[in-house]
Structure 1
Amino acid sequence: MNKIELMMYSQPNCGLCEEAKLQLELAKEDVPFTYRTVNITEDDLLLERFQLRVPVIMYHDEIIQEGIIDFVTVTEALAKYL
């Protein structure tokens, strides 16, 4: 089985980012994966790229979802990598 590690681009004081973490935890009940949170405010290039789009969930170079994250979309997107 493939090991799936997602990247979640976020920033401090982001309510959508906190909700995204909850949604990712729900998705983990159906699809095994890990995720790493990256604070975009610590990298100027990431800040420029994602500032108005966070949270952004990515697998490799593919954006799984951005903005409002829901576990159904994440689960369905990751199922194809199993």
Structure 2
Amino acid sequence: MHITFYSKNNCSLCEKGLHVIEKLKEEYFLTVNVVDIYEDDELLEKYMLRIPVVLVEGIEADEGILSYDKISQIIKNTN
């Protein structure tokens, strides 16, 4: 299962969100692609005020203060 994690440098909320993703990796077989939104103008415009944003298989799963339970449920539903 593929997870895309949109974030930026020096973002404490992103760091906390990455811990949630690491916990999910312990339970599920996940590949995680961390993307810095400042490397792409379109991503910056789209996610600037929403990061971190998590996509599960291309589906927006959660944003901001990430919920382990919410993302886990989406992972289960996409299997």
Establish whether TM, by shorter chain, passes 0.5: yes
Displacement of 1:30 in angstroms is 2.2
8 Å contact 1:30–1:75 — kept in the other structure? Answer: no
Which residue in the other structure is 2:53 paired with? 56
How many residues are paired up? 79
Structure that is richer in helix per residue: 2
**Structure 1: where are the runs of 5+ without partners?**
none
Look up the equivalent residue of 2:70 and give its one-letter code: T
8 Å contact 2:3–2:57 — kept in the other structure? Answer: yes
What TM-score do you get using the length of structure 2 for normalisation?
0.91
| Identical residues among aligned pairs (%) | 33
Superposition CA RMSD, Å: 1.1
Give, in whole Å, the separation in 1 of the partners of 2:23 and 2:68.
6
Find the residue that maps to 2:78 and give its secondary structure: coil
Which residue in the other structure is 1:19 paired with? 16
What TM-score do you get using the length of structure 1 for normalisation?
0.88
**Structure 2: where are the runs of 5+ without partners?**
none
Residue 41, structure 1, aligned to residue 38, structure 2: yes
**Structure 1 stretches of 4+ moved >6 Å:** none
